[in-house]
Structure 1
Amino acid sequence: MFDGMQRRVVSIWFPRLASDRALRLRPLEGPFALTHHHANTNRIHCLNSAAERAGLSRGMPFSDARAFCPDLQSRPADPRGDLRFQHTLRRWALRYCPWVGLEDEDGLVLDISGSAHLFGGESALLMDMRQRLLRAGITAQIGLGDSRGAAWALARHGEGAAEVGKALEALKDLPVSALRLDEKTTVALGRLGLRTINDLANAARAPLTRRFGPSLLMRLDQALGGQPEQITPLKDPPHYGVRLTLPEPIGINSDVMEGTSRLLTQLCEKLKTQETGARILALTLRRVDQDSQQVELRLARPMRDAARILPLFERGIKDVDAGYGIDQMRLEAVQVEAMPVQQLSHVSTGGKDRLDDLITRIGTRIGLENIQRFLPSDSHIPERGFIISPAAYSTPDSAWSTIRPRPLHIFPPNPLMGAHTAAKPPKHFRWRRMSFSTARASGPERIAPEWWLEDDTWRSGVRDYWCVETRQGRRLWLFFTPQSPSWYVQGEFA
C-alpha cells in the first residue's frame, strides 16, 4: 500500500454457502436443508431461504424440522466440498484485488485499497460483486470499512459500508457480538448494560480490561481502526504444468520425444522444488488442425527423475497420430504426492527402481490396478493371513511372521474319506480319490476362531493343525476338529 492511502477492506459473508452450493449442483424447489450427525442425532447444518421462512433454523434436530415442515427435502452435508467451493470463490474474488483471504468457514476478506477506482469507485465495485453473486445463485452480505473488524461487523450485522474515518458512526447501533466476541463475553456485557458497540466505546476502559482482559478492547480497537489487523492472502497451489510452442510443426517420433524430454526437465525441476513426485502425467499434443492427442502415463511410484520417466512415454508416443504436424506440446502432472528429500545411503536402491519401472511399463498395457501383490495381514486365521493389494499403491513394509510354517497353497477345507475320529493323524486315508499313507506328522497347532468377525466357517470351534508328510511324496496340511471329531485337508506345502 502506498503512503497516505486510506486502507479499505471488504468482507463478504455467505450465510447459506453449503446449501447454495448443493442447490447449484442439483436445483430443487421448496424448503431444503443439509444435515449432519452431531450429538447422536441428525441436525440441520445449513438451509435455504424457503426453509427459514418455514421456521427452521441451524442446529435444529432433523426429526423436529420434519415435524414442523413435512415438505422439507434434505441431503447430507459435505464440509470438504464446501471448503473447496470457498476456495473457488476466493479465486473468483481475485478479479477485484490481489489481497484475498478466507474469513471463518463461510466468508472472504478483501483489501481493496487502491483498486476500487478500476471499477468506477467503491459503490460500483460492491454493486458488481452483488450482481455477479446473485446471477450465480449465491446468497451474500457485503460490508465495507476502514478495518477488517468493521467490514466483518457490517457484513454480518446489517450489510452496509462505513465512510472513511467514520467507523464508529456506522457501527454504533450494532450489538457487541459484531466485534467477534465469544458468547460468554457477550452475555456478560449484556448483564452490565453494554449491549451495543456505542455503549462499549463510551464505557471506562480500565474496569473492562480488569474484568475481561485485553482481548475485549483489542477487538473494539480493531473494528474502529485504532489497532491494525493484517489480511493474509492464501497462496495459489503450485501448478505442475509446462508448455512448449514449436516454430515449425513436427511429426517424427524422435522429435516428439526430444520435446517431451525438454518438458520433463522443466517439470521435474518444479517437482523437486516443491518436494513432490508425479504419479500421473498427461502429455497433450496439439496438431496444426487444432485437434489434440493425449498420452497419459501412470507411474507405479511418485517420480521426478526425467531420465527415468522419458523412456516410459515411448510406447504411448508411438501410437500418436500427428496428422499434418504438431505445433504445441503441454505436459502436466495431474496427480502428485509428497516426495521429501531423503538421506543417501550406501545401500543401493537400483533394484527397486527397476522394479517400479517394470510395473509402470506393464501397467500402461493392462492397468496398474491389475498388477497385484500379497501382503501380510494381522490375523492367525489361515484364510485371513494375507490381503491382495495393487503393487503400485502398496509397499511391503512388514515381513511375514508365523510361529509355524504355512503351506504355499491354501484352499477350502476338504474332508478326508472314511471315519477318522482319533485326535492323531490317521495312518492311512483317502483324499480326492487318492490313497495316502502317513510317513511323518508334526503338530498340533491349535487355532481358535476370531469371535469378533462374522465367519460362519469358523463358528464350529477350534482346529488342531498338523503338517503331514505322506509316503507318496505329498506334504499336506490337515486339521482336526475336536468338538465334532473329523479330519480335513486345507493346504499343501511345496
Structure 2
Amino acid sequence: MRLWIALHLPRLPLEVFCPRWSGDNCTVVLEQERVIALSDAAYEAGVRQGLRRGGAIMLAPQSQFQQRDLELEKEALQAVAMALLQFTPQLAEAEESTLLLDVGASLRLFGGIRALCRKVAHSVRALGFTGWLSCAPTARGAWLLARSNGGRALKMASLELRLDALPVDLLPPARSYLGWLEGIGCMSLGELYRLPRPGLQRRCGRALLDMLDDAHGTRPELHEWLAAPASFHARLELFDRVENAEALLFGAHRLLLQLTGWLSAHQLAVERIRLLLEHERGRTAGPPTVIEVVLAEPTWKDTHLVRLLKERLAKQELDAPVIGLRLEAPQVQPMAPLSDSLFPEPGGSKEDWQRLLELLAARLGADNVLQAVPSADYRPEQANTWLSIQKKVRPAEARAQLPPDMGSLPRPTWLLAKPIPLLMRDHRPYYGSPLRIRTTGERIEAGWWGDMQTRDYFMAQGEDHAHYWLFKERDAKSKELEPRWYLQGLFG
C-alpha cells in the first residue's frame, strides 16, 4: 500500500525567529517591506498579512521586525527533515516549506496511520514548529491537502472528492492565470480538471496538467530522497542569552530529535554524546562548556537521552550565559534492535535495567554508581573490584580475569567485610552451635608480593542446618597448639 504524509510548515518564516517554545513574542516578518508572517501577539494588535511596514509600526510599535531569511528557513526545514528520518528513509522536500514522507512500509511498525501521524506531529511540536499534516495515496495529493490543511484521505475515491473542492490557486502554475480562470468561472480543482486538456495546455502550459495528473495518480511521480550526512553535527542558535542550565533542555531536545533521525537513517546506535554550551564571542569569548553523556548500552531513542541530559543540566553551573548549543555523536555502533519475547521477564528487560543505572549515574554522579568486576586473585577479599557503571566490562573479559580453577569451587554469595574469629570447643569451631566440616579443604596461598595469606577453606554446617564458609590459618611460626578458625562468609 502506497501512502504519503505531507507536512506543511505555514509559519516557518516566523518560527525561525520566534519558535513555539521560546514564548509568544510580538514578532513581524517582512519581505519587500510587506508583512508575510506575524505572531499571535502582533495579530491581536491589528497587524495583518500584506500590510506595509509603516502601518505595522503604527499598530504594534513594540513589535520586533525581522527581514525574511531564506537561508534560515532552509536550515530549519532540513532540521525537521533530519528528525523525521526516524519514521521513514524515503523523505523528499517539496515546494513551499513542505516535506513528503512515503510511509507505506512504516505503518505496521508504528501502529497504523493515526499513531504515526501523532508521532510526527509530536516531533514537529517538540522542534518548535507549527505543522499541517495530511495523508493521501499520492504525494501531490497529500501536498495539496497539507497546503489547505485538508486532513487525511486514505483512498483514491475520497482523495478525488477532497481535491475537487480545493481552490485552484493552490497550484503554483495556476496563479499566473487566476484572472482568466475567474473569468470562465473555474475556481476549484475539480472544475479545472474537467476542462478540455488540449486547450488548457495551450493556455497554461504542461506544468499545470502534470501537477493535476500527479495528484490524481495518473502519472508516475519521481522524487529525490534526502540523504543523511555521514557524520552528525547539529547546532542551534539561541534567541536570547540563557543563564539557567535547566532552560537549555528545550533546545537540547530539538538537537536530540535530529540525532534520532540520523541514527535511524544509518541504522546506528549511539554510545556517547557531547553537548557543547557556547558562550559569548569576540574579545570575551571563552571555551564552550562540554557535557558528555556515556551510555552503558547503545540507544537510538531520544526519550532516554533527554532524561539523562535533564539530570546533567540540573546539576550544571554556568560560568557565563549560553548563546548556542552544539550536539555531537563521536561514538556510534551498528544498531541491534530488541527482540520481543513471548514471555517477558518480570521487572523489565536488561535494557530497562541499564537505563535505570544510567539515570542514577547522571543524577548521583558516575563515581557513586558502581559495578562489581572480578579480579584475578585467589584471596576472597581481593577477588572483586568496584568500577564505575560507565566503564564497560564484557562478561567474557570478566571470566578471563578469574583464575582457571575458580569455577568449580564452592563460594558463598555473602562475604563478610571482615573475618570473624571463632571460639574452639572440643577442638571444633563454634558459632552459635558446634560446626561440622562438610567438604574437603581448599588451600589458598597468595599475596606473596604483598599481604601473604596461607589458608585452608572449608564449608561447615551448624545445628540449625545453615552453611558457613570457614578458613583455618596455616602459620608455621605460630606457637598456638590449636589452629585459629575464622568465619568468612555465609551460604544462601
TM-score (norm 2): 0.44
TM-score in terms of structure 1 length: 0.44
**Higher RCO structure, 1 or 2 (CA under 8 Å, sep 6+):** 2
